[in-house]
Chains A and B, each alone.
Chain A
Amino acid sequence: MLSLILIVIASAFFTGIIIRTKSIASGRKGPGIFQPIRDVLRLFKKGVVYSETTSFVFQIAPTIYFSSIVMALLVVPFGRSKGIISFDGDFIFFAYVLALGKFFSIISAMDTGSSFEGMGASREALYSMFAEPAFFILMGSLALLTGFTSFQEMFAALHIGSYISYALAILGTFVLMMIAMVENSRMPIDDPKTHLELTMVHEVMILDNSGFDLGLILTAGYLKFAIYGALVVNLFIGMFPYHFSIPMFFIIQFVLATGVGLIESFMARFRMSHNAQFIFVLTSVSLLIFFGALLILGKFA
């Protein structure tokens, strides 16, 4: 329950902070932190335009996408406090329920018959396929290390003590953040602010969405970022008491958001054709984590 409230709060300003960081870094005045929320509220009040090519898939897809992300959110724990649902293997549920959302966002893009959206859909499907193994191996390593298979128990039992475990936590943060970048279509993989449809991934898929549906999709995006941020936070807080962990949660989320903003200000997007290889590298990094876990457990002996 706690994680739900915290993530919703964090999601309210996460994207705002990214935009603010970018505007400061480029010397612009820029919009306020709550501009993304205002955008969404505005969209919720608007009418819609549907493409004449689309079918009912296009109309139900944003809802399913949104609820899949909310469902994933319900699984995420916060330190000692469990998510609303928590069970053995809940991270499998987490990944697969997100996949459902992805499935629908892809087919809704294809429903428009636009070649741009088809292109985006194709890329989204390919990238998310490559990102998933990294997540599963990371979670497998944590399961191996702690002997549990649910988010909450794994994170709670994670003790950061030795040097190796520090290294592992940092690698884990890296992998989770990169997965978050892939999932949220942010900078090194995708440039949300590009001017050309050909070079977008996620943005181009929602070209034809408007009004309430677009609002849902954007909100889902904000939530998704905060969810991955919360997973990163969970790597560190372990069993800390709440008066430490809650401020830590916000600090880490803030650092992540500014980090993303800075990356977007000072880095160029990777070449589209090399993105897939790059994402697959994450799998090898998470294999490193797995070997690190083996080292800690002394399985190499």
Chain B
Amino acid sequence: MNLIKVILVLPVLVILLIPFFKTRGKGILCYAAIILNTLLSGYLAVQSLAGEMTEITLPGSLVTGPVNLRIDALSGWFILIINFVFLTGGLYGLYYMKAYQSQRNNLTLHGIVFVLLHCALLGLCTVQNSIVFLIVWEIMAISAFLAVIFEHEKMATVKAGLNYLIQSHVSILFLMFGFIWVAFKTGSYDFHALTLYTSEHKGGAGLLLFLVFFTGFGIKAGFVPFHTWLPYAHPAAPAHISGIMSGVMIKIGIFGILRMITLIKADYYTIGLIILAFSVISGLYGVMLAIMQHNLKKLLAYHSIENIGIIGMGIGIGCIGLGNGNTILASLGFAGALLHTLNHALFKSLLFYTAGNVYQATHTLHIDHLGGLIKKMPQTASLFLIAAIAISGIPPFNGFISEFIIYSGFYYWMHDAMLGTLMAIIFSVLGLVLIGGLALLCFTKAFGIVFLGQARQQFHHEVREVPFMQLAPLYLIAFFIVIIGVFPQIFLNTLLQPVHLLSGLSLNAGLPYQEKMTGLLQPVTWGIGGFILLTGIIFALRKYITRNRNIAVEPTWGCAYVAPTAKLQYTASSFVRAYGKLFRPILLSSKTEKEVEGLFPSGGSYETNVYDRVEKYLIDNPIAAYKALLGRFLFLQNGRLQFYILYGIIFIVSVICIPLFYDQVVLFIQYIKQI
């Protein structure tokens, strides 16, 4: 009880104090608050993962009713992920923000919203009361908005921020609708009412309610077609905020969906199929667009959509397992989803931080302007490489483990599937495999063009590695990426409680999950360990055998052309050109070119861009139509003061008169009725 109060009071205190500190102090104070909060909430979270749920009830107010706070295993898992990403992101941010030292007020605000965002995310994991949940959700949305628009002097940043703010309010609208629906029917704002209501009303109501929540949380998570805010907001934010947004904030959407699965009693089988369909489409669409991006952070943002798709596939399998009463299938699906949530938080934040390093060193994120950074920034390059391999789902890193579990889920599901479901399985597997292949294409492009080869552009400033302290949190993340890849059992055992909670197993029946997981992953671990060992041996052998050989260094073979320049190198666009041509029907690519003409050409240009088709048809076109409709009323706003005064008078007159008229109308109607 007291612990919770401390957690609640601490941020308020820090937020009040931040403005009074000097620039350096602000950062340290902020980070200290994050550390303290992490320790306190982490303690409760670890307890919950060990099986001891923390539950307290605050008195609340007249409107909300008693406010229940509960840290169960599911919250615990997400709290730990949030804390880890905030710890590393905060430390990274301390150094990343040094470049903005002069903007004192801006930094104050940034520090405040950073602490607030952390608290809001933690709060969302624990609150069990819908009104309070919505308020906390709003705090999160607004603090994230303020964090995104840190560089608000740039027009594009503000636009991206507003886009995010509006879409996250659309998401709130859906959540509100769902909560009010239940509160209206049951009269209670407690989450427990959801369970009560849906178990009383079997059939369509539960499913519809779930879909309302799925849409709301799906906007936050970035499922296609609700993803359009994401590729704008992530690149606009400072690197540590992008990492946190992509690492944990969109995961709150996933948390919401999982929470609703535990609360709403509905036809899980149908829910599972719906989630699966959305996920496969999200995964494929996300990576397809990611490949064509020119901005490194935007590329990573589209990959978040892809990974949400992969997590969603796990959730889908889990729900189908629940619906079929197949607990092993359910635990495979949920374990895959939860582990991939952690994995994605790790490698995606690492990728965003390394992208931030690149931005700091070169002041650009345009992939085709970069190149050869591995020589200037070897540590950043190696960290990016680790994360790139992990996100492509390739062993020996963590991405492979979660994807392997999800694959196993699909193949396990085959055993008792009928024709229709077999089709679903085979197309989902097809989707997952294609996602893997496309991710490989995308990250070989990103890594190859940005870090390898020669610099494509000369910068006027020196390009150098960021200081070690800024790299330290990145190494910590990379360490976990490797550890999960090599010893996944530790983490899967931690997942025991959350998976049990989700798949509805009683705690005593712990054996099927553990047995299945150990049986499944023990040999994989051996394989991965063997692989690392083998590579080491071969490398040592190579070193030993070639120790006395001649090593010559010559220019790259250019088919005997002796004066190649860096501009002759393959570019990102040319690397994916064949892909772009093949997928043209799906992508919405535009091309502007100016050809080289005449005897004394003055220079040509060529530019390709890919626009999001979903965005065009779901967001842009309706908004254009809406604007056209509102444009018809433009004559009202004609800029003449006389008219505005007239409107004022009309308003006042109608405010006074309408009630009078109303009475007359009521009288009139009564009169008619009497007749």
Please give the residue numbers on chain A whose beta carbons come within 8 Å of chain B beta carbons, in ascending order. 44, 46-57, 60, 63-64, 66-68, 70-71, 74-75, 85-90, 92-93, 96-97, 99-100, 102-103, 106-107, 110-119, 121-123, 125-126, 128-130, 132-133, 136-137, 140, 143-144, 147, 149, 197, 207-208, 211-213, 216, 273, 276-277, 283, 287, 290, 294, 299-300
Contact = CB atoms under 8 A, between A and B. Distances in A.
A287 B426 contact: yes
Contact of A51 (B418, B539, B554): B554
Interface stretch (B40-48, B310-318, B430-438, B471-479): B430-438
A60 B425 CA distance: 38
B382 to A, nearest CB: 9
Given A52-B555, A63-B539, A100-B389, A137 B453 contact: no
A56 B379 CA distance: 12
B411 A89 contact: yes
B394 A114 contact: no
- For the complex of A and B, the 3 pairs showing the least CB-CB separation, nearest first, are A118-B570, A129-B437, A110-B448
Contact of B552 (A48, A71, A110, A207): A48
Given A87-B523, A89-B411, A126 B441 contact: yes
Contact of B538 (A66, A90, A118, A149): A66
13 contacts: A48-B550, A50-B554, A63-B538, A67-B531, A89-B524, A99-B392, A100-B389, A100-B394, A112-B453, A114-B557, A273-B581, A277-B582, A294-B422
Candidate in B436, B438, B444, B545 with the most chain A CB atoms within 10 angstroms: B444
B520 A89 contact: yes
B534 interface: yes
A107 B551 contact: no
A64 B535 contact: yes
Contacts of A60: 539
B394 A96 contact: yes
B362 interface: no
B546 A48 contact: yes
Candidate in A106, A123, A277 with the most chain B CB atoms within 10 angstroms: A106
B395 A88 contact: no
B429 interface: yes
A144 B416 CA distance: 10
B527 interface: yes
B404 A129 contact: no
Interface of B: 371-372, 374-375, 378, 381, 385, 389, 392-396, 400, 403-404, 407-408, 411-412, 414-415, 418-419, 422, 425-426, 429-430, 433-434, 436-438, 440-441, 443-445, 447-449, 452-454, 519-520, 522-524, 526-527, 530-531, 534-535, 538-539, 542, 545-546, 549-559, 566, 568-570, 574-579, 581-582
A121 B444 contact: yes
A126 B579 contact: yes
A85 B167 CA distance: 50
Given A55-B374, A114-B556, A143-B414, A129 B438 contact: yes
Contacts of A211: 546, 549
Nearest to A93: B527
Contacts of A149: 408, 411-412
B519 A88 contact: yes
Contact of B454 (A96, A113, A128, A144): A113
B575 A113 contact: no
A47 B549 contact: yes
Given A86-B523, A87-B524, A112-B453, 17 more contacts: A49-B554, A63-B535, A67-B538, A87-B527, A96-B403, A107-B447, A115-B574, A116-B559, A121-B570, A122-B578, A125-B444, A130-B437, A132-B433, A143-B414, A211-B546, A294-B419, A300-B419
A111 to B, nearest CB: 4
A226 B419 CA distance: 36
Contact of B551 (A47, A55, A130, A216): A47
Contact of A216 (B524, B542, B558): B542
Contacts of B378: 55-56
A208 B564 CA distance: 15
Give the interface SS of chain B, mostly helix, strand, loop or mixed: helix
Contacts of A294: 419, 422
B404 A92 contact: yes
Contacts of B553: 49-52
Contacts, number: 253
B549 A48 contact: yes
Contact of B557 (A68, A129, A207, A216): A207
Contacts of B443: 103
Contacts of A147: 415
Given A113-B372, A147-B415, A211-B546, A125 B531 contact: no
B388 to A, nearest CB: 8
A62 to B, nearest CB: 8
Candidate in A56, A67, A216 with the most chain B CB atoms within 10 angstroms: A67
A122 B291 CA distance: 12
A132 B555 CA distance: 35
A47 B550 contact: yes
A85 B430 CA distance: 26
A51 B454 CA distance: 12
A23 B131 CA distance: 80
A158 B654 CA distance: 84
A107 B452 CA distance: 8
Candidate in B408, B443, B535, B568 with the most chain A CB atoms within 10 angstroms: B535
Given A66-B538, A96-B394, A121-B575, A110 B449 contact: yes
A129 B440 contact: yes
B373 to A, nearest CB: 10
Given A48-B552, A100-B389, A111-B453, A212 B542 contact: yes
B290 to A, nearest CB: 13
Contacts of B440: 99, 102-103, 106, 125, 128-129
A144 B538 CA distance: 38
Given A89-B407, A93-B404, A212-B549, A122 B574 contact: yes
Contacts of B426: 137, 140, 287, 290
A156 to B, nearest CB: 17
A97 B531 contact: yes
A114 B453 CA distance: 8
A182 to B, nearest CB: 12
Nearest to B392: A103
Nearest to B404: A92
A136 B433 contact: yes
Nearest to A46: B549
A128 B437 contact: yes
B144 to A, nearest CB: 34
